[in-house]
Structure 1
Amino acid sequence: MKMRDVAKYAGVSVATVSRVLKGDDNVRQLTKEKVLKAVEELNYVPNTLARNLSNMQSKKILVVVPRVSNAVFSSIYHGIQNVVNEKGYQVILIETFNRRDSSVPELIRDRTVEGAILLSAMMSEEEFAEKFKGLPVVLATDNLRERIQSTPSVSIDNVLAAEKAVHYLANLGHRCIAFLGSRSDSIGARERLEGYKNGLHQHGLKVDESLIFEGEWSLESGYHLANQMLFQKKLPTAIFAASDNLAIGAISALSEQGVRIPEDISIVGFDNIAVSEYLTPALTTIEQPSVQIGEKAADMLLTILDHQLLEQMHVELNSKLIIRNSCRRMKYLERGDEPK
C-alpha cells in the first residue's frame, strides 16, 4: 500500500495526503477527514521513514549473513554492531541460509536502509548490480572480491594464511599433509586450497590429490571427511583443515577410531573460533580477525554515507598462526636424521 493509493481513494493529491499525515494545520478540515477516513479504510500504515527520503536519513543499515550461528559470521556481525551502534545506527539483519532473499530489493526500493554490508554473497556481478542498485555496499567477505572490484571490501589473504599453516607443519617435519576443505565456489575455499598447494611446493613436497578432501564448512563434514581419509592406504601424519569446524569434526572422528591427536596425527585449523582454545588438545589454528573485519567494514560504509572518500577500496587484514597443542614435532627431527 502506497501513499498514492490513499490519495486516489480520497480523491486528493499525494502532496495533500503527505500534509495531513504530517499534521499540517493549513489543510481544510473536510479534506483532512476524507484523507484520514481513507487511511483507516485502506489500513494504510504511513512509512515514517519516507519523510527522510530526500536526505536518506533512516539511520539503518542492512547486514546480510548466510547463518548467524556460524561463529565467524557472528563475530563479524558483532564487530559491525560495535561501530554502527556507537554512531546511532540500527541494523536490519537478514539471514539467507545461502538462499536468495526477495526482501532485500524491497528494503532498498523503499529506502528503509541507507547502506548494506554483505558477509557472504554468492552471486554474479550482474545479479549483484541489479539487487543492490543505488545502495552503498561494503563486502565483509572474499566471495565477491574477485568479481566485483568496484565495491569496497574487507578480507584476509587466504592464500598466505593457508601457506602459514603448511609451513608450520612442514617445519615440524611433516611430509605427508592432508587437506580438508570446502567444495563451494567461494573464493576463500579456492584460495585456502591454493595456499595449501603452494606451501607444499615451497617445501619441495608433491601434491597428492588422494589427500585432498572437500565437503562443506561444517562439523559434520569434517567428521565424514576424516572417516574417508582413514580408508586411504597411506595415512597422513598431519592435516590442514580450512576451517575450525572441519578440524573439530575431524578430531571427533579420529578420536572415535583410536587415532590420537597429536601423537598419531597433527592438525591445524582455520578461523580461531572461541571453542578451539578449549578442546583437548587445544587446537592450533590460523586466526582471521573476524571482529576487526566487521568493524572495518562498518567504518568504510559510514565513511561512504558521510560522503567522504575511502583511503582504500580493498582492505586486507593480517591473519595469525595461533600455536596450541594439536601438533607435534616429528621424531626423526628429534633424532637429528632424515625421513626415509
Structure 2
Amino acid sequence: MTTIKDVAKQANVSVATVSRVLSKKDTVSEKNIKSVLQAVKELNYKPNALGRYLRTAHTKSILVVVPDITNPFFSDVMKGIQTLATQREYDVLVMDAEHANFNSMKCFDMLEQKQVDGLIMLTSRVDQKTLVELSRQHAIVLACEYLEGTTIPTVSIDNVSAARKITEYLMELNYTNIAHITGPMETVIGADRLRGFKQAFQVKSVPIKASYIQEGDFSIESGYQVMSKLLSMEERPDVVFAANDEMAMGAINAAKTFHLKVPEDIAVVGFDDIKMASMFTPPLTTISQPTFEIGQKSAGLLLDLLNKKPLTQSQFVLEDTLVVRESCGHYLQTDKSDLVINQK
C-alpha cells in the first residue's frame, strides 16, 4: 500500500511538502506542486480519509436524505448535487427516508458525531424541531421542500403558483369537472399543490367539488387506486390533475382499465416532468421542475456554508415550466401539437 512517505521519496520532497500540497496550502512552489501531483498519479496514492479528518476536522463528505430513492424525480436532483460535490472534491452519501429502517435521528447523529460535514434534506418529513435546532450549529440545506418560519437555506420552485397555473390552463381548455389527486397532506408540497389548485377556482369564482379532491401518496399505485375511485363516481370528472407524474401515470392506466381513452374520454395532467413523462402513452402534460439546477444550487449553498462564506440569499425559488403534451387534450380544441408555457 502506497504511503505519503513513498510519494515524498518519488517526488524528492519532504513529507511535510506532500502534506501541504494535498491540503492545498499556498506555501508550496509550483515546481514542488507539479512533482508531488505527478508522484501521486504514478503511485496511485489515495490519502487516508481518517488521517485527513484528524488534520483538518473535515470528512469532505456530505449526506443527502431522499424521501423515496425509487422516485425518478430525485435522480436528476441527485445528479446536480453529485456533479457539484465531485467538482469540489466532496463525497456524497445517500439515505432513503422510505427505507423500513430509516430514522431521522440517525442522519442527525451523523452530523453531530462529525461523520459527515453537512446535510441536504430533500424532505422535511423528519423531526422538524431537531432539524431547526441542528441548523443553528451545522451546515444544513433543504431542497424541494421547505419549513415555514425558519432560516434554513432552501431551494425549490413555487409549488402553489405552479399548481394554480396548470389548473388555470385546464380551465382555459373549458374543462369544468376538474379533479385533483393530492400528495400526502402531511407534506408541504402536497399541501402547496392543493392550495394552488384551489386558488385557481377562487380566482374564477368557481365552486370546488369536495369529492373531486382525493389524497394519494405520490406512487403509481395510489394514482391508479384514486383514479379508480374517481371513475366510479356517478358524475366522473372530465380531467384529473395529479400532484406528480407517477400518480398521473397510474391514473391513466386506471382509465385504460375502465376502457376509457385519454384524453378523448378523460384528460390527465401531472407534475414534475420526469423522463418518462414525454415517452408515456399518451405523452404527459405536466409542470417541469429544474431538477438538476435544484441539486446544484442546494449543493453550492451547503458548500458555501461549510467554507464559511456569507450567504447573500438563503431562500431560492427557481423557475418552473408548464409543458403541454397530448394527455390534456389541448389538440382536441387547437391545431397546435406541442406547447411550452414559461412561468412569468
TM-score range (shorter-chain normalised) is 0.7 to 0.9
Which one of the candidate residues 134, 144, 147 is aligned to 1:145? 147
Offset of 1:126 from its aligned partner?
Answer: 2.0
- Other structure's SS at 2:268 match: strand
Map residues 161-172 of structure 1 onto 2, 5 A cutoff: 161-172=162-173
Offset of 1:55 from its aligned partner?
Answer: 3.9
Which one of the candidate residues 119, 123, 138 is aligned to 1:120? 123
- Other structure's SS at 1:271 match: coil
Per-residue CA deviations over 1:16-60 (Å, capped at 9, x if unaligned) read xxxxxxxxxxxxxxxxxxxxxxxxxxxxxxx95375357433211
Per-residue CA deviations over 1:219-252 (Å, capped at 9, x if unaligned) read 0000000100012121111111110011000000
CA distance in 2, matches of 1:188, 1:313: 19
- Other structure's SS at 1:326 match: helix
Offset of 1:332 from its aligned partner?
Answer: 9.0
Identity among equivalent positions (%) equals 34
- 2:256 aligns with 255
CA distance in 2, matches of 1:324, 1:48: 49
- Other structure's SS at 1:270 match: coil
Instruction: Report which of the two structures shows the higher radius of gyration computed on alpha carbons.
Output: 1
Offset of 1:296 from its aligned partner?
Answer: 0.5
Per-residue CA deviations over 1:108-151 (Å, capped at 9, x if unaligned) read 23322111111113134322145667320000132x4215x121
Conserved 8 A contact 1:241-1:268:
yes
Name segments (4+ residues, structure 1) moved above 6 Å. Answer: 330-334
CA distance in 2, matches of 1:50, 1:132: 27
CA distance in 2, matches of 1:296, 1:52: 26
Per-residue CA deviations over 1:72-123 (Å, capped at 9, x if unaligned) read 1222111100110011110121122164244324422332211111111313
* TM-score, normalising length: structure 2: 0.78
One-letter code aligned to 1:67? D
CA distance in 1, matches of 2:188, 2:205: 26
One-letter code aligned to 1:146? E
Conserved 8 A contact 2:183-2:189:
no
Per-residue CA deviations over 1:123-182 (Å, capped at 9, x if unaligned) read 34322145667320000132x4215x1210101111100011111111111111010112
Which one of the candidate residues 95, 108, 112 is aligned to 1:109? 112
Count of aligned pairs between the two proteins: 286
- Other structure's SS at 1:69 match: coil
* TM-score, normalising length: structure 1: 0.78
Let me know the Cα RMSD of the aligned residues.
Answer: 2.2
CA distance in 1, matches of 2:332, 2:247: 27
- Other structure's SS at 1:298 match: helix
Matched, 1:196 2:169: no
- 1:221 aligns with 222
Conserved 8 A contact 1:282-1:324:
yes
CA distance in 1, matches of 2:139, 2:291: 22
- 2:97 aligns with 96
Conserved 8 A contact 1:173-1:330:
no
Structure 1 unaligned blocks of 5 or more: 1-46, 335-340
Matched, 1:65 2:66: yes
Change over 3 Å in CA distance of 1:249–1:63 after alignment to 2: same
- 1:136 aligns with 139
Structure 2 unaligned blocks of 5 or more: 1-47, 336-344
